[in-house]
Amino acid sequence: MNFECHPGPLDASVLFLDKNHRAFEVFKNPTAYDEPINIRRSDRSFWQYMKENPVGGRVEGLIHAAGFSGILQIGYKYVDHSLITALVERWRLETHTFHLPFGETTVTLQDVNVLWGLTIDGLPISGADTGMSMYTVRDKCQLVLGFTPEEADVRGKRVKSSRVLQQITSDFSENEASDKDCIFRARQIIFYLIGCTIFPYNANHLIDVKFLDFLVDLPACSGYSWGSAVLAHLYRNLCNAAAPNAIAITGPVALLQVWVWERFRCFALAVEGKLNVYRCFYTLPENI
């Protein structure tokens, strides 16, 4: 059986940003793009600690009530830089889809809900992004997280993720802890997940304290559409990484990795770390 694959698109006017896309430069000067995009993430130490020190039943119940237990169950996933790079080269800003030889596909809200267990219904993750003094940041951390960061641990309205991780890895016995201590513990873990796994930014060693407002009432936290915010954040970072001069990508790339394994089973058998191995699945055409 003969199978002819049109390099696409059928209507060339659809992809009007072709000259401002990484894939165009890859085809024009492939040797300049031999190295994969750098993936910025800083949560490996956290996941290693979680593996060696599993969350107890009381704290896990609070995290589950807040709607974040699915991420804990998945745990740390190695992200293949070459695979993510190949996907970025096929990501189109105009359609927010991956343009592959056999058609278009993309990560959907259903994928976020199934793979990470995050809610996709409910209130939007929104609010005024106002300035905040260092003293307000420290007071908010004490009120919601149960500890006060040092002045050196605060940058604007963000707190260092290393300080949050230090608190998480400190001595804690669930059997001896009060209900309030367990709530603080659950909030600390969720706050770290939000800042370093779910919504990491370019400076992913800092976590914005604006997310603490959503963690005051943990059961009510599950009433927000975290999945929608995650998907929007992933789309934005894929668009940024598709720029010709982009050298790194951040955001929930761990989710993208799991999505690829579930949707493209053949990629799980490819040689990890070999960019050309993944590119051969795509066969970059001239008129991309």
Report the amino acid identity of residue 118. Answer: L
Count of helices and strands (H, E) across the chain: 13, 8
Specify the pLDDT at position 10.
64
pLDDT tens, residue order, the chain (288 aa): 444 545 456 666 777 776 788 887 877 777 777 788 888 888 889 999 999 999 999 999 999 999 999 998 888 888 888 889 989 988 988 889 998 777 789 999 999 999 999 999 999 998 777 788 899 999 999 999 999 999 999 988 899 999 999 999 999 999 899 999 999 999 999 999 999 999 887 655 889 999 999 999 999 999 999 999 999 999 999 999 999 888 889 989 999 999 988 888 766 555 556 676 666 655 544 444
If phi over 0 gives left and psi between -120 and 50 gives alpha, with beta otherwise, what is residue 146?
left
Specify the pLDDT at position 282.
54
Specify the pLDDT at position 32.
76
**How many other β-carbons are positioned within 10 Å of the β-carbon of residue 254?**
24
Specify the pLDDT at position 190.
97
Compute the distance between CA of residue 131 and CA of residue 123 in angstroms, rounded to an integer.
23
Taking only Cα atoms into account, the Rg of the chain, rounded to an integer number of angstroms, comes to 21
Do residues 100 and 280 make contact, with C-beta atoms less than 8 angstroms apart? no
Domain-wise residue ranges, the chain: 18-282
DSSP state letters, 23-76:
HHHHHH-GGGG-SPPEE----HHHHHHHHHSPPPHHHHHHHHHHT-HHHHHH--
Using CB atoms within 10 A of its CB, is residue 247 exposed (0-12), middle (13-18) or buried (19+)?
A: exposed
Specify the pLDDT at position 216.
95
User: What is this structure's pTM?
Assistant: 0.87
End-to-end Cα separation, the chain, in angstroms:
26
- The enclosing H or E element of 206 equals strand 206-208
